[in-house]
Amino acid sequence: MHTPVTIIGAGLGGLLLARVLHVHGIPAVVYEADPSPTARSQGGMLDIHAHSGQFALETAALTEEFRGIVLEGRQAIRLLDRNGTVLFDKTDDGTGTSPEVQRGDLRQVLLDSLPDGTVRWGHKATGVRAVGEARHEVTFADGSTVGTNLLVGADGAWSRVRPLLSDATPAYIGRSFVETCLYDADTRHPATAKAVGGGTLAAFDPDERGKWLVAHREKDGTLRTYVTLAKPQDWFAGIDFTDAGAAATRIAQEYDGWAPELAALITGIDTAPVLRPLHALPVGHRWDRVPGATLLGDAAHLSPPDGEGANLAMQDAAELGTALAAHPDDVETALTAYEQALFPRSATAAAAAEVTHNPTPQELIGFFAR
């Protein structure tokens, strides 16, 4: 293939697609809204699954680099109730199959694997239109445009490419995360650090569905927490998240009565709490074949979070890149083959996430114990 592939979005999926194409000698350009690679935090921990994320990194010839950023011991998991009682405790004995890495580290591995100039920073896509047979034009916020014969939307939940293929839009699933961070927790919050343990903590209220939190131990003693609240969006609109102290206090009220070492994950934070409303596309989302364009990752199959999203995005990218390399003279055959595998795979994953998106306490125990 000599026609450059135009990729919108420099998340894990978009970058891994560019890397797989590069391995096969296929040119690609990635357009990203962020002005630079360090413009914003890249999020917390990811468990990379053998059948999806690890497969994708192997396809991209980056297994060794991936192993170099794995955080040892982080596959440990603990389940506590609201009183701090330990219900399940599994240490990382080295036999786990889903190593943990920090998203920012993995993104940097992908960036470092690409030729200089592959990613065009500061290009926020605002719209896409068809301009001929299998050709499209992308418009950016600065008024510039780019034309392409092969367009891939890897631009997440609110994809600007998706409307070209589908009328579907993400819907709020009825709950949100509030993300918090504690730094140097072993020294400054030893009881909380002990409660979290060496890897992942899940703590929940056994008497109230939809009230639970998950905390991850990152590098340098950082604890990143996702506090779950099953509330409508207008409830969160009544909280001023620009006032960090007031927002943390209001969220903590919902967890009143929890063990102090768990409550500190909300009240002892070192950064402003960040609201993460959760949305999903319809289960089984698909589209008719549109010549010269396709989607991957959350742009294609946004689901409630269940540990699969980043893995599926990378798997999508690996399979799309492989299909294009297998059919360099017939893009439509490649895209058809990719989508025929994508649709049933993503529908199965979305259905599974839908089942677990608002779990009972018993279902939560079963999910994390697995």
130-to-8, 127, 147, 149, 272 alpha-carbon distances in Å: 16, 11, 9, 10, 42
In this prediction, residue 96 carries a pLDDT of 85
In this prediction, residue 26 carries a pLDDT of 96
Q: What is the pLDDT of residues 42-55, one digit of tens each?
A: 878 999 999 999 99
In this prediction, residue 275 carries a pLDDT of 97
Could you give phi then psi for residue 56, rounded to 5 degrees? -65, -45
Using pLDDT thresholds of 50, 70 and 90, give the confidence band for residue 206: confident
Give the tokens for residue 352.
């599974």
Least confident of 3-7, 82-86, 164-168: 3-7
The answer to whether residue 137 scores a pLDDT higher than 80 is yes
The answer to whether residue 285 scores a pLDDT higher than 80 is yes
**Rounded CA separation 51/28 (Å):** 26
In this prediction, residue 113 carries a pLDDT of 98
Is 63 in contact with 126 (CB distance < 8 Å)?
A: no
pTM of this structure: 0.95
In this prediction, residue 208 carries a pLDDT of 78
In this prediction, residue 34 carries a pLDDT of 97
Give the tokens for residue 41.
């935090």
The answer to whether residue 188 scores a pLDDT higher than 80 is yes
Half-sphere exposure of 145 (CA within 13 A, CB side): 11
The answer to whether residue 240 scores a pLDDT higher than 90 is yes
Give the tokens for residue 146.
């780019």
Q: What is the pLDDT of residues 336-345, one digit of tens each?
A: 999 999 999 9
Q: What is the pLDDT of residues 84-94, one digit of tens each?
A: 999 989 999 88
Mean pLDDT of 71-89: 93
**Rounded CA separation 214/196 (Å):** 9
Q: What percent of the chain has pLDDT over 90?
A: 84
Q: What is the pLDDT of residues 213-235, one digit of tens each?
A: 999 999 989 999 999 999 999 99
Amino acid at 24: H
